[in-house]
Amino acid sequence: MTRLVLALAVAALVVVIVKIREQRRGRDAPTQPQWQVPSQLDLDDVGGASTDWCVVVFSSSTCATCADVVAKASVLASPSVAVHTVDYVARPDLHKKYAVDAVPITVLADRNGSVVRGFVGPVSATDLWAAMAQARDPHDESSTDICAPSDG
């Protein structure tokens, strides 16, 4: 009988210790959305609003996929489209400011910095050209605002 009482006392002590440790540790933070595209840019962060459109690729010089996306986005450069790269190694402050937690993230913004299209991950040249065409002709509702990674 003494052993039973002692075993129950030890079990109760273990339960109390576990409860105290759980309270001290706190609860896990709720799951946060990740890999979001910024919805607004301060164009002064990337060179100003001297054109009607601005394509910004948040990238990293250590990322091969990013280099491919930067090359594809560079082709869009024209008198009315500025293309900028925000490299994590060179500008981690801007990645933090815009809560960019994955690369590459490509955004297409108007002259006010409002992001009209965004891509997370690799993007094809076709998708970039289509996004630019749709931004210039917003009456074409054949595509969505934010695109998932695509082939190419």
User: What is the residue extent of each domain of the chain?
Assistant: 43-147
pLDDT at position 146 is 42
> Tens of pLDDT along the chain (152 residues)?
888 878 888 888 888 888 887 777 766 666 655 678 999 999 999 877 788 999 999 999 999 999 999 999 999 999 999 999 999 999 999 999 999 989 999 999 999 999 999 999 999 999 999 999 998 887 655 544 444 444 44
Class of domain 43-147: alpha beta
Burial 63-76 (b: 16+ CB within 10 A, else e): beebbbbbebbeeb
| 81 vs 41: CA distance, rounded Å | 15
Residue 33 preceded by cis peptide, ω within 30? no
